[in-house]
Structure 1
Amino acid sequence: MAEERRIQKQYLLASDFDHTLSFNDSGVILSEMLGIDGFQAKIAEISRKNFIQQGGELSYLLLHDPEYRQVRSHHLIAVGKKIRLKANIRLVSQLLNSLDGYRFGFYVISAAPEEVIQSALEGIVPPENIYGTRLNYNEAGEVCGIERVCAGYGKVTVLDELQSSMKLGRDQVVYMGDGSSDIHVMLHVNRYDGLTIAVSEAKHISQIAKRTVLSDDSLSVLVPILEEILGWQSSRIRALFEAHGFTVQEWDKVKTDWLTIEPMDARETAELQVTQ
């Protein structure tokens, strides 16, 4: 009861999986494991034709591509064990929840198959806090349908359901991601004054996110959370890291301007000289 009284405000911290909590792409690892070539070309073709929301291309292949008909749930579990995770994922929510007056519920929302994410994050994130693409299997173990794809606007739907079930205000949501499948959900969170964090320099996502953090350590996302939500200064943030046995060796804040400059043709140059 005393602990509950100290909690002043709760937040929902939601994260993508591939390239956000990991260094790998689930589809690439699955294709390499099964000896299937041309995965990236297949993905590019599906994206070009807009068959499915961005991020859901692997699910489309599992359901429709003959080469991927051999995939069974145990293959997806094996893929999860091969994925290289970023450091200290478990400590993200532990450190945040050690702060007096705040409680952060950590969830994963990703287009990757649920079996992959649960396998990769076993013992780190509870299975009930993982929302990935949910596949249906027939009696032979083949993928025969898709119950849910957490890609594109599908992520918005899951996030809204979580926010509603937790009875949180829309401004009590933090989302972090890295790619095009996160655009819809980041725009949605920004609209209601939540916090969005990009973990990639990709222009299509870093220009939308309120903050961008680049690091191989998952603890890096604490910086924008502590600055934007708790209003902490850098000295206090460093002290928190040091209190838990970590040292921030490099911390560069850079504002980036993206420019594309093309030379004028000869006619435009001549006109410019005349007007001068």
Structure 2
Amino acid sequence: MVKHYLLASDFDQTLSFNDSGVVLSELIGFHGFHDKVKGLAEINLVQQGAELSYLILHDPDFRRVRREHLVETGKRIRLKHDVALFARALENLADGYKFHFNVISAAPQEIIQSALEGIVPPDHIFGTRFRYKESGEVDSIIRASAGWGKITVLEELRASLGISHDQIIYMGDGSSDLPVMMHVNQYDGLTIAVSEAKFISRVAKRTVLSDNAMSVLVPVLEKVMHWDSAKIRRFFASNGLTLLEWEKVRTDMLTIQDSAEPIAAAPAS
């Protein structure tokens, strides 16, 4: 009997090194993307991951963006090492397991599909979808997979696969992934952070730091398939990779300051 799992991933800085907004800005000759994003922080669109879509719709500097710009941006995205190998490995990871790999991101759909062409099927990619005018200008958003919207997409995929919540694996890198990670955690799924961002690493059950996409298979192989480190190393070797460094670190992060008034220590029992 085959056990099915839904493995869903964010895109920007999870499967890639780049931020789609930065690459698109450079393409259209605009160099103040981060300043624009900073200004949007006050209305919380940054936390949802929807800042680029908002700018494309409402900002004069981004109104020139057309579909072809988004496709070209995707071609310029630097993917993490071995993303294609990661996608192939998931297809036949082990007997008795089937992993359904999908990408759920607030980035424009055209960017993600272009970047992952030949790696992830288009119908497994759920980004922000735009409606276009006849002139080619973006008219409106059809659907955005941002913030809580990611949960909606995730639940639709889960229902279509007919699997339970504890058979969901989600990986992401930033604050826009917090709602979906908390949702997955609530139902005993596996969440993986691929950055040390303060809030995400506290919520995710595992954190993996690497420039290689294959690295996120380590917690999957450990937690889902219960492989030991020796078997995991052999698996990587069978795929032509060597785990040169594998540091399992637990870090306590503390901020300590002087108290307003000294408090007497409790007597030792």
Structure 2 spans left out of the alignment, 5+ residues: none
Match of 1:142 in 2: 137
| 1:258 shift after superposition | 1.4
Say whether residues 1:61 and 2:36 are aligned partners. no
Distance 1:28 1:262 in 2: 38
Distance 2:96 2:213 in 1: 22
| 1:51 shift after superposition | 5.2
1:211-234: per-residue Cα shift (whole Å, max 9, x none)? 000000000011000000011110
3-state SS in 2 of match to 1:207: helix
| 1:246 shift after superposition | 1.1
Q: Determine which structure has more spread, i.e. the larger CA radius of gyration.
A: 1
Q: Could you tell me which amino acid in structure 2 is paired with residue 142 of structure 1?
A: E
| 1:19 shift after superposition | 0.2
Say whether residues 1:158 and 2:163 are aligned partners. no
Match of 2:12 in 1: 18
For normalisation by structure 1, the TM-score amounts to 0.92
What does 1:18-57 align with in structure 2 at a 5 Å threshold? 18-50=12-44, 54-57=48-51
Q: Are the equivalent residues in 2 in contact too, given 1:109–1:132 (CA < 8 A)?
A: yes
Q: Given the superposition, is the C-alpha separation of residues 94 and 37 from structure 1 closer, same or farther in structure 2, using an over 3 Å criterion?
A: closer
Say whether residues 1:198 and 2:176 are aligned partners. no
Match of 1:210 in 2: 205
Q: Match for 1:252 among 247, 251, 257?
A: 247
* Identity between Structure 1 and Structure 2 (%): 59
Match of 2:101 in 1: 106
What does 1:164-179 align with in structure 2 at a 5 Å threshold? 164-179=159-174
Moved over 6 A (4+): none
Question: Pairwise CA RMSD of aligned residues?
Answer: 1.8
| 1:93 shift after superposition | 3.5
Q: Given the superposition, is the C-alpha separation of residues 82 and 226 from structure 1 closer, same or farther in structure 2, using an over 3 Å criterion?
A: same
Q: Match for 1:115 among 110, 119, 122?
A: 110
3-state SS in 1 of match to 2:25: helix
Q: Are the equivalent residues in 2 in contact too, given 1:59–1:133 (CA < 8 A)?
A: yes
Q: Match for 1:78 among 67, 72, 87?
A: 72
Q: Are the equivalent residues in 2 in contact too, given 1:61–1:68 (CA < 8 A)?
A: yes
Q: Match for 2:82 among 59, 70, 88?
A: 88
Distance 1:51 1:119 in 2: 24
Distance 2:47 2:56 in 1: 15
Distance 2:225 2:59 in 1: 48
| 1:252 shift after superposition | 0.2
1:26-52: per-residue Cα shift (whole Å, max 9, x none)? 001111111213211211221212357
| 1:87 shift after superposition | 1.3
| 1:88 shift after superposition | 1.3
Q: Could you tell me which amino acid in structure 2 is paired with residue 195 of structure 1?
A: L
For normalisation by structure 2, the TM-score amounts to 0.94
Distance 1:117 1:199 in 2: 18
Distance 1:167 1:31 in 2: 40
